């Protein structure tokens, strides 16, 4: 295991590498407001057992990475993707297998479209097409209005209610959010989720800064409109049939948009890997 900071422009990005540096690399890209430590150790270990090295990292505004004054220096999904390229550069890697979850899945799509030579394979987990604008569908769902047939389905009422409550950064609120993320079918490993969230809280330079990711997602972003049909990397889509944030239709839309993509529907999986055995199950589906 090796920790290091790499430079992305003026920012410092915390990273960790696990496994033999001489082996092909998997870059794990986590979701909105999520630190690298949210990538389960069991998933990392299973990937290392499959014969790769694994690199996980803290996005800007999370964990030990640099905090940004978003009002003075707003950033976009493209900027978060360029941080990923900086991580690869920092380890001297020409390319890597890229696996992204949720917002990390959109970042991974950006990399496969705009930096295809850096992406050996693409795995998108619990995510949605990067060009998808959910704002109208979410607004209709909150107002109790009928969905537009053109919409991808909105999140579950439980998730929307939790988000609308405006909870401040707090481990207890986050545990309840992860309970919703987990979904109702597979058992929720609350002790493991709490341990991870407590670790994330303890190592965050500025816990409130992670909310800037939500602002970045809503920024106008022409790069996100590039067609997913241009992706040439071998691609797997991993999606739970109980995802409360991006229901299964989002994963199906991704698989339909990317040439040759294989869709793996994981029964009972929600939006996170907080059920016993699930990290290993997902690790086995990551494209190598």
Q: Is the dihedral of CA 105, 179, 206, 196 positive or negative?
A: negative
Which of 65, 97, 271, 275 is the catalytic position? Answer: 271
Q: Is the dihedral of CA 165, 169, 170, 175 positive or negative?
A: positive
Residues written for the chain: 288
User: 201 an active-site residue?
Assistant: no
Q: Is the dihedral of CA 154, 225, 218, 40 positive or negative?
A: positive
User: 174 an active-site residue?
Assistant: no
How many C-alpha atoms does 141 have within 13 Å on its Cβ side?
19
CA gyration radius, the chain: 17
Which of 32, 102, 121, 236 is the catalytic position? Answer: 102
Instruction: Please answer whether residues 138 and 154 qualify as being in contact, where contact means their C-beta atoms are separated by less than 8 angstroms.
Output: yes
User: 102 an active-site residue?
Assistant: yes
Instruction: Please answer whether residues 256 and 227 qualify as being in contact, where contact means their C-beta atoms are separated by less than 8 angstroms.
Output: no
Which of 243, 250, 264, 275 is the catalytic position? Answer: 243
3-state secondary structure of 168: coil
Catalytic residues: 102, 243, 271
């Amino acid at each position: 295991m090796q920790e290091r900071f790499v430079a992305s422009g003026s920012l410092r990005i915390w990273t960790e590498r696990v496994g033999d540096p001489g082996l092909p690399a998997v870059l794990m890209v986590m979701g909105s407001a999520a630190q690298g430590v949210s990538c389960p150790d069991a998933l990392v270990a299973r990937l290392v057992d499959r014969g790769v090295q694994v690199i996980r990292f803290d996005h800007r505004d999370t964990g030990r990475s640099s905090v940004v004054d978003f009002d003075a220096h707003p950033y976009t999904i493209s900027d978060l993707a360029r941080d990923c390229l900086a991580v690869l550069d920092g380890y001297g890697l020409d390319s890597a297998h890229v696996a992204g979850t949720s917002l990390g899945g959109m970042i991974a799509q950006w990399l496969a479209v705009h930096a295809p030579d850096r992406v050996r394979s693409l795995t998108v987990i619990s995510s949605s097409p990067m060009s998808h604008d959910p704002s109208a569908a979410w607004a209709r769902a909150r107002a109790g209005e009928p969905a537009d047939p053109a919409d991808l389905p909105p999140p579950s009422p439980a998730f929307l209610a939790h988000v609308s409550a405006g909870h401040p950064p707090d481990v207890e609120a986050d545990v309840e959010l992860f309970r919703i993320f987990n979904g109702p079918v597979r058992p929720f490993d609350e002790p493991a989720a709490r341990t991870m969230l407590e670790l994330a809280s303890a190592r965050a330079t500025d816990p409130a800064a992670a909310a800037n990711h939500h602002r970045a997602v809503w920024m106008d972003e022409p790069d996100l409109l590039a067609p997913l049909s241009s992706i040439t990397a071998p691609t797997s889509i991993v999606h739970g049939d109980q995802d409360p944030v991006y229901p299964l239709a989002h994963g199906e839309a991704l698989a339909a948009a990317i040439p040759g993509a294989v869709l793996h529907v994981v029964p009972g999986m929600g939006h996170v890997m907080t059920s016993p055995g699930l990290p290993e199950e997902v690790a086995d589906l990551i494209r190598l």
